[in-house]
Amino acid sequence: MLSHEIEDTFDVYGYQRYYKNMKTAIEISGLLDHVDRYTLENFFDTFDFQGYDRLLFDEFRYYFWMYLKIYEQQA
């Protein structure tokens, strides 16, 4: 997924402040490079981070990887 698509998806779900803090780490890690928008949207539909004061990249990566593993097992 392209950088602007990732940012747009974070914005739609109200997570723009988290994206601003994690943008560099997401880009360097390549975590979302080969993920489509549908998968990221489903992840945000599954996990709700609205109650978090802050979301660290390591936390986001952990939850996202867990989601991908479960998603792959169901496919």
Q: Does the pLDDT at position 28 exceed 90? A: yes
Q: How far is CA 38 from the centre of its chain?
A: 11
First-to-last C-alpha distance (Å) of the chain:
21
Number of domains in the chain: 1
pLDDT tens figures, 29-67: 999 999 999 999 999 999 999 988 999 999 999 999 999
Enter the pTM of the model: 0.90
Amino acid at 15: Y
Residue-range definition of the domain harbouring residue 43: 3-74
Amino acid at 25: A
DSSP 4-59: HHHHHHHHHTT-HHHHHHHHHHHHHHTTTTT--HHHHHHHHHH---TT-S---HHH
